[in-house]
Structure 1
Amino acid sequence: MTYHSKLKCEFVDELFEAILLLENTEECYRFFEDICTIKEIQAMAQRLKVAKLLRQNKTYHEIEEKTGASTATISRINRFLQYGADGYNLILDRLEEKHQKGEGK
């Protein structure tokens, strides 16, 4: 099944193709540091952490304390976890699987 997003266009396709060519964490750091601001990278990392904590059934207060995310951000991510394109769940499932195999942190 192919997912068709509202943001789908040639430029975004090329961006995602480029990201898929990155081979390791070091390459990700190098590419994302060039293409994004530090704040943008930190915001994406924070959102992923919030999603992970929500799936662990942490409270909004616990998540806010741990990540510094606002309750509005936490609520928005929770909505995406429940009703979004399933992107958070897809990647969090894969990260969990990788970590269970002892391949990650």
Structure 2
Amino acid sequence: MNKKIKNELTDKLFECILSMETVEECYQLFEDLCTINEIQAIAQRMEVAAMLDAKRTYVEIAEKTGASTATISRVNRCLHYGTDGYKLAIDRVKAKKEKEDSE
């Protein structure tokens, strides 16, 4: 965990995010909290991470997401050497989708 961001205010922010119960509630919070460009940048990084996890090439990822190779490289570095946050989120979304598909 990055000690540069870990503090009481950040804890409260994450508690607020975790309190959201639906995607619609997340939209409400993030539209108030972030600019449209910030939300789009975060969403783009998550898609880049999912595509890297699925073994897509940088060219495919850049074409689909519009992400720069610098962004793709940064996300890839986080996937391999980061705190596993991307991987945790990707795996949980996959598991949820698989569960829903099997019901």
Counterpart of 1:18 (choices 10, 16, 19) is 16
Which runs of structure 2 are paired with 1:52-67 in the superposition (5 Å)? 52-67=50-65
Percent of paired sites with the same residue? 59
Which runs of structure 2 are paired with 1:1-105 in the superposition (5 Å)? 4-6=1-3, 7-102=5-100
RMSD: 0.9
Q: CA deviation at 1:102?
A: 1.7
RCO comparison, higher one (Cα < 8 Å, 6+): 2
Unaligned runs of 5+ in 1: none
Q: Which stretches of structure 1, 4 residues or longer, exceed 2 Å deviation after superposition?
A: none
TM-score normalised by length of structure 1? 0.92
Q: Which structure carries more helix by proportion? A: 2
TM-score normalised by length of structure 2? 0.94
> What is the distance in 2 between the residues matched to 1:67 and 1:11?
32
